[in-house]
Amino acid sequence: MNELMQYEGQMPAVVRDEQDALLNMDYDNVLALAERADKMVDALNKIMKAAVRVTTKKDWVMIGGVPYLQEPGATKVARLFGITWRIHDGYPKQEIDGEGYPTYIYRMTFRMGAQEIEAEGMRSAKDEFFAGKKDKRKSVDEIDLADVKRAAFTNCLNRGIKAILPGLRNLDAASLEDCGVPVSGSSGYTFKTGSQGGNTGKAEDSGLVCEACGAKISQKVASYAQGKYGHMLCMNCQKKADRGELDLEALDDQPDGPPPHGDGDDPYEGRR
C-alpha cells in the first residue's frame, strides 16, 4: 500500500490509496490533457496577435519599459471581440488624501458572449506621471485632473479587457513588434531617476544615460529600450544589441538596473 504525506499547517497527515495505485493516471487521459493544453496556448496566441494587429503605434505608450494600451486602442480591441461594458452605479468615485490630491476610481462590468467579469481601475493625481518626482512635485492646482480621471477609466478598461482576453497580458515591446506594431515610434516615459529629472522630451534634459556607453537619451528612447532589451540603451547601442555585438548579460550585473514593473495593467503602481 502506498502512502502520501500531506502537510496541513505544521502537522503531517497520511493519505492511503486503497487501490494501491497512487498517482497512476490513465495514459490516454494524460495525452488528451496535453493536447487540450497545446490548443489552449495556440488559441491564446491567436487572440493576442489579432488584438495587437487591430491597433497602431499611436494606441500604445511605453511607461517604465512596459507597453500600455491607451483608451482608443482598448476600444478597438473590444469592438473586434464584441466586448461590452457598463460603469457601476455610483462610479466614478473620488477620494481625497491628506494633502488634497484626488484619486479617481472606476468599477465596471465587462461581457463577452456569456462570459462576464468585473474590474476596478484607479488613478491618483499624486502619481509621478502626473505630479512629477517627489522633490519637484506639482501642486494639485497645476495638474489637469481631467487627465487623471481619464487615466482611471483607461486603467479600468485595460484591466477588464485583459481579464476577459488573457492572451493580452504580459506583453512586451518585442511581442508588439512581432505583430507589426512598431512601438519604437510610440510615446514613452520611464520612472528611472535621472540626475536632472526633466521631461521635455529632449535627451539633454532627461538626466538619463545609456547604460552601455553613457550617452544621453530621452525618456522615450529609455522606456522603449527598457521594454525590449531590459536596459536603457541609446539608439546606437540598441543596434549593436540587435547585431549581437553588445553583451546584455554583462549589463545585468550592474547594480543600477531598471526597476521592475507589472503586466501593463498599472504602470504607475508603487509610484505614488
Pair 150, 130 in one domain: yes
pLDDT of residue 257: 42
> What average pLDDT does range 191-213 have in this prediction?
60
Q: State the cell numbers at 8.
A: 496541513
Q: Quick check: 233 and 94 in contact, CB under 8 A?
A: no
Kindly report the CATH number assigned to the domain that includes residue 141: 3.30.160
pLDDT of residue 203: 53
105, part of any domain: yes
Q: Which of 140, 170, 200 is the last residue of a domain?
A: 170
Give Cβ neighbours of residue 209 (< 8 Å, ≥ 6 apart): 194, 215, 216, 217, 232
Q: CA-CA distance, 169 to 159, in Å (whole number)?
A: 9
Pair 179, 151 in one domain: no
Pair 68, 146 in one domain: yes
Pair 116, 186 in one domain: no
259, part of any domain: no
Count of the separate structural domains present in the chain: 2
Q: What is the pLDDT of residues 137-171, one digit of tens each?
A: 899 999 999 999 999 999 999 999 988 887 777 78
Q: Which of 68, 182, 208, 195 is nearest to 135 (CA)?
A: 195
20, part of any domain: no
Angle at 195 between CA 189 and CA 197, to 5 degrees: 35
Q: CA-CA distance, 74 to 54, in Å (whole number)?
A: 10
pLDDT of residue 261: 42
Per the DSSP assignment, residues forming a β-bridge with 12 are 7
Per the DSSP assignment, residues forming a β-bridge with 121 are 106
Pair 157, 182 in one domain: no
pLDDT grade for 186, boundaries at 50, 70 and 90: low
pLDDT of residue 189: 57
Q: Which helix (H) or strand (E) holds 87?
A: strand 84-87
Pair 71, 166 in one domain: yes
Pair 166, 111 in one domain: yes
Pair 68, 156 in one domain: yes
Max CA separation in the chain (angstroms): 74
41, part of any domain: no
Q: Which domain holds residue 110?
A: 62-170
Pair 161, 203 in one domain: no
258, part of any domain: no
270, part of any domain: no
162, part of any domain: yes
Q: CA-CA distance, 140 to 97, in Å (whole number)?
A: 11
Q: Which of 80, 92, 52, 54 is nearest to 264 (CA)?
A: 52
> What average pLDDT does range 185-203 have in this prediction?
52
Q: Which of 63, 85, 16, 64 is nearest to 257 (CA)?
A: 64
Pair 143, 193 in one domain: no
Beta pairing, strands 60-63 & 66-69: antiparallel
- Which CA distances in Å does 249 have to 54, 192, 230, 244? 34, 20, 10, 12
Q: Which of 137, 170, 203 is the last residue of a domain?
A: 170
Give Cβ neighbours of residue 250 (< 8 Å, ≥ 6 apart): none
Pair 66, 149 in one domain: yes
Q: Which of 111, 135, 170 is the last residue of a domain?
A: 170
Pair 85, 134 in one domain: yes
Give the three-state DSSP class for 244: coil
Q: What is the pLDDT of residues 62-107, one digit of tens each?
A: 777 778 888 889 999 999 999 999 999 999 999 999 999 999 999 9
pLDDT of residue 8: 44
